[in-house]
Amino acid sequence: MKNGFATVTVVVVMVSLVCTCGGSTSGNLHPLILIPGNGGNQLEGKLSREYKPSSFICESWYPLVKKNKGWFRLWFDSSVILAPFTHCFAERMTLHYHPQLDDYFNTPGVLTRVPQFGSINSLLYLNPHLKHITEYMAPLVDSLQKLGYVDGETLFGAPYDFRYGLAAEGHPSQVGSKFLKDLKNLIEEACASNDGKPVILLSHSLGGLFVLQLLIRNPPSWREKFIKHFIALSAPWGGAIDEMLTFASGNTLGVPLVDPLLVRGEQRSSESNLWLLPNPKIFGPQKPIVVTPNKTYSAHDMLDFLNDIGFPEGVYPYKTRIVPLIGNIQAPHVPITCIMGSGMRTLETLFYEKGDFDERPEISYGDGDGTVNLESLLALESLWKEEKSQYLKVVKIDGVSHSSILKDEVALNEIVGEISTINSHVFGVNNV
């Protein structure tokens, strides 16, 4: 809370009359599925004989504790803050793009899995042994449970391997595509186990991009039958300038004591991070994002930027897999509510006075939620302004950050209020 005060602005754009099966009444809850953001769920790892550690520490001492059958907590493990273990962590989290197969893969010998798909358990805390410092969706879930939602009955979780993303049509994306398939199955199962009532999808951050892709990749008949409403929290529809810092100089994401250069290579390898770079359609060619003595980069100069920071291997997958994906963000014609924070200092421009990307830059700030720029949070308004049959409601909450939207009292009241409204009425013009 910010001195107990927040300003809420609501904008409703482009109304359509939408009919869905299984209309609900007050107290008759539609099933709800939570889809987390980047780094928003637990991830486990296991090492096979094929794994070739780069150091003795990575081979013998990390992780310090392993679970049954060799599985251990990969994300989030607090030992990542210690430099020798930071290197081991980055080594095992790194993805590798295979040009011939045109897809991303784990480091050889590193197996990963996402625990408890379908349940909310891996979304509550990134490490259940460190609840106070790794709390994620626990406050939101508590509010939903007070509304009457029950894990495994009306409330479900869809965790995923957030390092992987999606690619444009015609390009394989095995892990990301499997997640969409699993999420689709979960939606259908949740609907079937709740008397055919269509599902409310509630995403945070990157999760919103996955949900939107799921919707537009399935036919209108499927969407009409299975989707009641889509609520997107803090969705980076047009990417985030913060990702430019991640690629150029590394980003600790608020984890103390970590050298950003130790995790920069791993962060550059992430397929989802490539997906989250600023979208040229949202951030125009005249907007300077990275400034050096020799060159100024906008979102339209991404290929040069990736080359110049020393990451040429990112150029081809960005050009072929990402640019077509972010170039056509279609309206799914299901009701959508976007809830976001605003009024927070958000990275706007990076200044590298010496042109050395290993150095930390000077930063100028603009409006946003502290992570995602306001242009990106509001992107659907501009992209879909001609979509007369797309219902889009936008809620801005002043003083709420990208992560605190999951725990701030004003934000939670807004989210729960929206869900209550959706559950209480057959959606249509009377809800506007």
Helix (H, G, I), strand (E, B), or coil: what is residue 262?
Answer: helix
Active-site annotation holder among 24, 122, 205, 234: 205
Helix (H) or strand (E) holding 203, with range, is strand 199-204
Strand-by-strand arrangement of the 72-75 sheet: 72-75, 43-47, 110-113
CA–CA distance, 376 with 381 (Å, rounded to integer):
10
Q: Is 13 helix (H, G, I), strand (E, B) or coil?
A: strand
Angle at CA of residue 208, ends 22 and 118, nearest 5°: 60
Amino acid letter, residue 149:
Y
**Residue whose token pair is 């358990």:** 121
Helices (runs of H) and strands (runs of E) counted in the chain: 17, 16
Chain-centre distance for alpha carbon 231? 13
Residue 369 annotated in active site = yes
Catalytic residue among 173, 402, 403, 404: 402
Q: How far apart are CA 96 and CA 266, in angstroms?
A: 10
Residues near 375 by Cβ (< 8 Å), separated by ≥ 6? 238, 282, 283
For residue 142, give the 3-state DSSP assignment: helix
Cα separation, 139 vs 381, in Å, equals: 29
Is 382 an active-site residue?
A: no
Q: Could you say which of 161, 308, 369, 408 is catalytic? A: 369
Q: Which residues are catalytic?
A: 205, 369, 402
